[in-house]
């Protein structure tokens, strides 16, 4: 599946994701929170798309 997003849309998703990771009640990716680990993977894909 492909979704066309503007750079601004990607940036707000990255900003929201970063906030989510820092406020995780489960301790975040460092504490093996599965949702945070998935979110980190998605954010990596978004960041790779922005850097092109």
- pLDDT of res. 52: 60
- pLDDT of res. 30: 87
With 90 as the cut, is the pLDDT of residue 19 above it?
yes
With 90 as the cut, is the pLDDT of residue 51 above it?
no
| N- to C-terminal Cα separation, the chain | 19
- pLDDT of res. 40: 94
Query: HSE (CB half, 13 Å, CA atoms) of 33?
Result: 16
Query: pLDDT over 90 for what percent of the chain?
Result: 69
Specify the pTM: 0.81
């Amino acid at each position: 599946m492909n979704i066309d997003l503007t750079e601004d849309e990607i940036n707000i998703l990255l900003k929201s994701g970063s906030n989510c990771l820092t406020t995780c009640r489960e301790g975040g990716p460092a504490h093996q929170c599965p949702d945070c680990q998935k979110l980190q993977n998605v954010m990596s894909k978004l960041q790779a798309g922005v850097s092109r």
